[in-house]
A and B are shown apart, each in its own frame.
Chain A
Amino acid sequence: MTQTLAMSGYGIYVWSTFALTAAVLVYNEWAARRRFRSVYRDIEVRIKALENHK
C-alpha cells in the first residue's frame, strides 16, 4: 500500500496531478449545474411574476 502511495518516490507529483484533475472535473460539473439552475430560476421567477399579474 505504501509502495503504491510512494510511486517510487514520485508519489507527491502523481497524486497531486490526479487530485487536481479530479478537482477540475468536479468544479466544471458543479459550475455547469449552478449556471443552469441560476438561469432557470431567473426565467422562472420572471415568468411566474408575469403570470400572476394577468
Chain B
Amino acid sequence: MWKWFHQLASPPHFYRLASLFIPWLAWPGYALVAYGTFAGLFVAPPDYQQSDAFRIIYVHVPSAYLSMMAYMIMAIAGGIGLIWRMKLAHAVAASAAPLGASFTFLALASGSVWGRPMWGTWWEWGDPRLMSELLMLFLYIGYMALRSAIDDTGKADKASAVLALVGAVNVPVIHYSVEWWSSLHQGPTLIREGGPAMDPAMLYPLLANIVGFSLVFGAMLLRRVRSEVLRREARTRWVRELVLAPGENG
C-alpha cells in the first residue's frame, strides 16, 4: 500500500495516472451536471416561497461547496508538501487555487443575482454565507498574490503552504464570527434551513450537480497539475523522453 503511495508521489507516475484519469472524471462529471441542470431547470417543481428563482440553488450550492473543498485541498496539499517535502503536493496546491477562486466568484455572483429578486438588493452585507464566501475570495487572492510575489518556486511553495494552513485554521473562526455578526441584525438568508427536507424531485438534481461539479473540478485540477508537474520537472530525463517520444502531444 505504501509502495502505491510512493509511486503516486513520483512525478512521472502521477503524470501518467492523471492523464488516464481525466476523461474518467470529466465525462461522468459533465453528464451528471447536464442531468442536474436540465432537471433542476425544467423538471423540479417551483418552490412555493421563491417560485422559479430558487433554481439558482442548482448552481450556487455546488459552487459554494467546491470553493470550500478547493481551499481544504489547497491547505492539506500544502501541509503534506511542507511536512513530507513532496513537490507534487505543492503542485496540487498551486493548481487548486485558481479553480477555487473561480468557484468562489461563481458562488458570490450566483448568490448576488439570487438576492436581487429575493431581497431587492444586489448585495446583502447581513447574509453570513455571502460574507463568508467574500472573505474566502480574499483568502484565495492573498494566496495567489503571495505565490506570484516570490520568484523561487520552492520558497513560494513553502510560504504559500504556511499561509494556506493559517487560513484554514481561521476559516471556521471566520464562519462563526460572521454568523454571530449577522445574527445581531436578523437578516434574511438565502437558503432556508429546511435543508434536505426537500422534495426529492428538487433534491436529486441538486445532488447530481454537487457530485457532477466535483468530478468536473477533479478533472480540471488534474489537468492543471499535469501542467504544473511538467513545468517543474522540465529539466528532468523523464520529461525529455516524454517530449521526444513520437506521437506524444500531451
Contact = CB atoms under 8 A, between A and B. Distances in A.
B246 interface: no
B220 A14 contact: no
Contact of B53 (A13, A33, A37): A13
Contacts of A51: 244
Interface of B: 37, 41-42, 46, 51-53, 55-56, 59-60, 63, 98-99, 102-103, 105-106, 109-110, 113-114, 116-117, 216, 220, 223-224, 226-227, 230-231, 234, 239-240, 243-244, 249-250
Contact of B117 (A10, A28, A35): A10
Contacts of B63: 21
Interface in A18-39: 18, 20-21, 24-25, 27-29, 31-33, 35-37, 39
A51 to B, nearest CB: 7
Contact of B59 (A21, A29, A46): A21
A19 B63 CA distance: 14
Contact of B51 (A8, A40, A42): A8
A43 B234 contact: yes
B178 to A, nearest CB: 23
A17 B55 CA distance: 10
A17 B41 contact: no
Contact of B223 (A10, A32, A47): A32
A13 B230 CA distance: 41
A16 interface: yes
A46 B102 CA distance: 32
A4 interface: yes
A29 B227 contact: no
A39 B56 contact: no
B216 A25 contact: yes
Contacts of B250: 36-37, 40
A18 B46 contact: no
Contacts of A10: 51-53, 117
A14 B116 CA distance: 11
Given A24-B106, A35-B224, A36-B223, A43 B230 contact: yes
A18 B223 contact: no
A13 B114 contact: yes
Q: In this complex, which of A11, A28, A32, A46 has the most chain B Cβ atoms within 10 angstroms of its Cβ?
A: A32
A21 B107 CA distance: 9
B63 to A, nearest CB: 7
A35 B102 CA distance: 16
A43 B113 contact: no
Given A14-B52, A14-B55, 6 more contacts: A13-B53, A21-B59, A24-B105, A28-B98, A29-B220, A43-B239
Contacts of B41: 4, 14, 18
28 contacts: A4-B42, A10-B52, A10-B53, A13-B56, A14-B41, A17-B59, A17-B113, A17-B114, A18-B41, A18-B59, A21-B59, A21-B63, A21-B106, A24-B102, A24-B103, A24-B105, A29-B220, A31-B98, A35-B224, A36-B226, A36-B250, A39-B234, A40-B249, A43-B234, A43-B239, A46-B234, A47-B239, A47-B243
